Amino acid sequence: MKIAVVGATGLVGGEILEVLEERNVQFDELLLVASARSAGTKKTFKGKEYTVITMEDAVAQAPDFAIFSAGGSTSLEWAPKFAAVGTTVVDNSSAWRMSPDHKLIVPEINASTLTAEDKIIANPNCSTIQMVVALEPLRKRYGLKRIVVSTYQSVTGSGKAAVDQMMNERQGIDGPMCYAHKIDMNALPHIDVFLDNGYTKEEMKMVNETRKIFNDYSIGITSTTVRIPTVGGHSESVNVEFKEDFDMEEVKALLNSAEGVVLQDDPKHNVYPMPLTAHKKDEVFVGRLRRDESQPNTLNLWIVADNLRKGAATNAVQIVEYLQKQLKIA
């Protein structure tokens, strides 16, 4: 089996390689792919040195899988070219997420909808993934009526340039600006571009992707997304109204037994999810469970996950694992 990592020199590309190694994904040949500018550079995987190749070279080798993390415009141009030679593409960008002809997959929720004919598969937005993984066991039990979510997102979600800006500011170094304002010791309620309705593109991603993943367009969803000066993961304050009332102990039991979820809810002992402790982990961490006392059937919860892991690399690799195991692709 031959697998390509497209965007191998970026933050998420590097994380994909780590996840492939940690999860011991089986393949015979690895292709590290990037732009022509990065072609020829060297990267090491499992002690072996690889030379980064161009898109054209990778397509010519017709890999079985290609995990893309190279931006939307690159995916729109190159994913169909890979698919045309028989490659199954798992794409981390927003390019295909809302396409009616492509599936938006979180393995814990809807991997069973995949078929061998799905040649371009969309990976959801990082902040969407962690929220839907945490809500899925509760959705199945109580039904979802409305979600109000506010996010507190790591600078790593903007790539290396954003991390560099924050660290430069922290050290008093003048450098290139990734954001419109300083990020260190600040909070920016501005992720992606502003749209005509006053929301940002990131906020509408959470609305639209959640409905598509759950295949339920009746759910009321509103979102505010904020960039904060941290690394390690995104945090979310979620207020969810269910169709039915819930029992708090049952909620905890459902989350405790849910695939990919870790319950950290012991506030008396200062135990709750944090980016610091979610960093480099593949799971979604949930805590601060409280009944909303202002209206019926409503729960408050705090959700944290490493946005480069479950929010991107891990979810994509899990899709490949599912296709290998369940559909015997490659």
3-state secondary structure string across the chain = CEEEEECCCCHHHHHHHHHHHHCCCCCCEEEEECCCCCCCCEEEECCEEEECECHHHHHHCCCCEEEECCCHHHHHHHHHHHHHCCCEEEECCCCCCCCCCCCECCHHHHHHHCCCCCCEEECCCHHHHHHHHHHHHHHHHHCEEEEEEEEEECHHHHCHHHHHHHHHHHCCCCCCCCCCCCCCCCCECCCCCECCCCCEHHHHHHHHHHHHHHCCCCCEEEEEEEECCCCCCEEEEEEEEECCCCCHHHHHHHHHCCCCEEECCEHHHCECCCHHHHCCCCCEEEEEEEECCCCCCEEEEEEEECCCHHHHHHHHHHHHHHHHHHCCCC
Rounded mean pLDDT, 206-222: 98
Rounded mean pLDDT, 151-168: 97
Residues 256 and 286 in one domain: yes
Q: Which of 33-42, 98-107, 184-193, 312-321 has the lowest mean pLDDT?
A: 33-42
Q: How far apart are CA 87 and CA 81, in angstroms?
A: 9
Q: How far apart are CA 148 and CA 225, in angstroms?
A: 11
Residues 135 and 116 in one domain: no
Nearest residue to 288 (alpha-carbon basis) of 275, 297, 301: 301
- For residue range 290-316, list pLDDT tens digits in order: 999 999 999 999 999 999 999 999 999
Q: Give the mean pLDDT of the chain.
A: 97
Six token digits for residue 276? 């610091």
178 is catalytic: no
Which pLDDT belongs to residue 205? 98
Residues 165 and 298 in one domain: yes
Residues 159 and 35 in one domain: no
Contact by Cβ (8 Å): 123, 92: yes
> In which band, very low, low, confident or very high, does the pLDDT at 153 lie, cut at 50, 70 and 90?
very high
Residues 166 and 286 in one domain: yes
Catalytic residue (choose from 102, 178, 181, 234): 234
* Domain harbouring 266, CATH code: 3.30.360.10
Q: How far apart are CA 83 and CA 95, in angstroms?
A: 15
Contact by Cβ (8 Å): 88, 121: yes
Q: How far apart are CA 53 and CA 102, in angstroms?
A: 27
Contact by Cβ (8 Å): 153, 191: yes
Residues 293 and 319 in one domain: no
Is 153 annotated as belonging to a binding site?
A: yes
Q: What amino acid occupies position 54?
A: T
Is 12 annotated as belonging to a binding site?
A: yes
Strand partners, 42: 51
Residues 76 and 221 in one domain: no
Q: Which phi and psi (to 5°) does residue 178 adopt?
A: -85, -35
Asked whether residue 141 carries a pLDDT value surpassing 90, the answer given is yes
Residues 318 and 288 in one domain: no
> In which band, very low, low, confident or very high, does the pLDDT at 327 lie, cut at 50, 70 and 90?
confident
Asked whether residue 328 carries a pLDDT value surpassing 90, the answer given is no
Give the number of domains in the chain. 2
Residues 275 and 196 in one domain: yes
Is 227 annotated as belonging to a binding site?
A: yes
Which pLDDT belongs to residue 250? 98
Is 215 annotated as belonging to a binding site?
A: no
Residues 156 and 115 in one domain: no
Rounded mean pLDDT, 74-97: 97
Which pLDDT belongs to residue 273? 98
* Domain harbouring 20, CATH code: 3.40.50.720
Is 47 annotated as belonging to a binding site?
A: no
Is 9 annotated as belonging to a binding site?
A: yes
Contact by Cβ (8 Å): 130, 305: yes
Q: How far apart are CA 212 and CA 217, in angstroms?
A: 7
Rounded mean pLDDT, 254-270: 98
Which pLDDT belongs to residue 326? 86
Residues 34 and 86 in one domain: yes
> In which band, very low, low, confident or very high, does the pLDDT at 23 lie, cut at 50, 70 and 90?
very high
Residues 276 and 152 in one domain: yes
Q: How far apart are CA 229 and CA 214, in angstroms?
A: 31
Q: What amino acid occupies position 217?
A: Y
Q: Which of 4-8, 37-41, 169-173 has the lowest mean pLDDT?
A: 37-41
Is 163 annotated as belonging to a binding site?
A: no
Asked whether residue 269 carries a pLDDT value surpassing 80, the answer given is yes
Catalytic residue (choose from 102, 126, 181, 269): 126
Range(s) of the domain holding residue 193: 127-307
Q: How far apart are CA 85 and CA 143, in angstroms?
A: 42
